[in-house]
Amino acid sequence: MKCYKARWIITSTGEVLENKAIVVDEGKFVDIIPIEDASKFDEKYVKDLGNAVVTPGFIDLFTQYQYTNLGKTNPYNLKTKIKRIFQTVARKYTFAGVKPDNYSLKWANILSDYFVLDRHEKIQSFKDGLEASIKAGTTCIAQVSKEDKYFEIINRAPIKNYMFFEVFADSSDKSKKKFKELRSKVENYVFHKGENTHIGIMLHSIPGVHKKLWELFSKYCRKHNMLLMTRFAEAQDEIEWLEHGFSDVDLLHKFMGFRKITPYKRTENPVDYLEGLKVLTKKVIAANANYVEEKYLKQLADTGVKFVYQPRYSEEICNKKLDFNTVLKYFGKNFGFSSQSFRKEKDFSLLKLAVECNSDNQLDVVELVKYLTVYPAKILRLDHLTGTVEIGKDADFNVFKLDEGEDYRDLVKKHMPYSTYSKGRKIVKRGDIRFSL
């Protein structure tokens, strides 16, 4: 049993505690006591955090750590150099005449850079992103990938995680095949996963998934009470595809080796499109919605769908992002943040990202922290385990050191924690990782 004394504790239950101590035993919060009562414990089990603010661990609602080192790795062997040449030629041929800021071309560039990485480089890229995120105070992630090799890494990680297995399909027959393959994989992983790991399904996007696959996995997720995630109307290419039956997204599919997919119906409203497939439920998580009119955002929110806000990714790749006030208006308490970015120098601090979005101080620091903790915990249905500093929950928490004269409201200036704990285990101290993957 250990006792941690702190000047401030933001619990994410609505309370800010002053001069209290949290008691941790077997990875759980077992008590919160007045700071003077810590003297009842053996000194060696008492940690005085001093003038510090404690928060619950942060939750990143959409990560793709496999892309962390894109743009940093140069080909060093002949095989890789040849692969890169072929990728470059194929991309230039496929996207001839397309503007450089086009969404589909940007993704073709990302995939080209990723495809030429060898297995070791991909794994290192994933580990680097995961470690950087944990250093920034993240103790729970929602990782999106279709590759098995990342499951093994994430399953060993000392933090909570959701592995959303990503799937595409371009025909009815392929949909049935993909469904059977992924269903078998998921059932196998559910049996072998660790207690920190949870499984979900990621149907890539409206134009990247055939009608049949939407139907199969929507029914499967409802039956097995699983979370389903999707990219939702994140690019103009998607909206044009829905309205006209074609767009530049067809070029991206061609580049990836897919056949042309057409909408099962033409519409300007992506919400109606998925509602027609009986997809939208409270167990669905939608990312971005950058190109949805406000009347359709309200319609989407009214279905109970939860939301992932990815402002950096949206600006960089999608050429547009929803205004933070708009997100608050329609998805208040039903959204969380994603730190995903494709800049070479990435910043994985969810706190810094949230503070940047909250530049007009729409939310006070206590409420803002909830969007990094308890609200995304509820979205992932993990709020019985994490998201708040409460007796009985896992001891996932961050410690931010304050300067003289500062109080908990100055948390917004800090961005990186002094230390991070997962289930009571110190996994980061002074910016150094204290575990190996």
- Quick one: which H or E segment has residue 327? helix 324-331
Same domain, 16 and 123: no
> For 139-198, what is each residue's pLDDT tens digit?
999 999 999 899 999 999 999 999 999 999 999 999 999 999 999 999 999 888 999 999
Token pair in block for residue 267: 């519409």
CATH of the domain at 423: 2.30.40.10
Domain assignment present for 369: yes
Same domain, 315 and 348: yes
Confidence band of 90 (pLDDT split at 50, 70, 90):
confident
Domain assignment present for 395: yes
Strand order in the sheet with 228-232: 58-63, 138-145, 160-167, 197-203, 228-232, 284-288, 306-309, 335-337
> Among all chains, which residue has been given the structure tokens 């006070």?
364
Sign of the dihedral defined by the CA atoms of residues 132, 134, 136, 142, in that order: positive
Same domain, 284 and 214: yes
Domain assignment present for 309: yes
Domain assignment present for 384: no
Domain assignment present for 182: yes
Q: Are 38 and 21 in contact (CB under 8 A)?
A: yes
DSSP alpha helices (H): ranges in 136-232?
149-156, 172-192, 211-223
Same domain, 9 and 99: no
CATH of the domain at 332: 3.20.20.140
Whether this prediction's pTM lies above 0.95 is answered by: yes
225: CB partners within 8 A, 6+ apart: 283
Same domain, 242 and 350: yes
Kindly tell me if the per-residue pLDDT of 240 is higher than 70. yes
Ranked by mean pLDDT, which of 38-42, 53-57, 120-124, 432-436 comes out on top?
A: 53-57
Domain assignment present for 79: yes
Same domain, 311 and 410: no
User: Residue 215 sits in which domain range?
Assistant: 59-379
By CB atoms closer than 10 A (0-12, 13-18, 19+), residue 31 is middle
DSSP sequence for 112-163:
HHHHTS-HHHHHHHHHHHHHHHHHTTEEEEEEEES-THHHHHHHHSSSEEEE
> For 400-409, what is each residue's pLDDT tens digit?
999 999 999 9
pLDDT, residue 75, reads 60
Domain assignment present for 416: yes
> For 275-304, what is each residue's pLDDT tens digit?
999 999 999 999 999 999 999 999 999 999
Same domain, 116 and 156: yes
Same domain, 44 and 136: no
Domain count, the chain: 2
Same domain, 339 and 415: no
Domain assignment present for 327: yes
Same domain, 228 and 351: yes
Confidence band of 86 (pLDDT split at 50, 70, 90):
confident
Kindly tell me if the per-residue pLDDT of 77 is higher than 90. no
Same domain, 122 and 15: no
Q: Which of these three, 333, 361, 379, is where a domain ends?
A: 379
Same domain, 68 and 197: yes
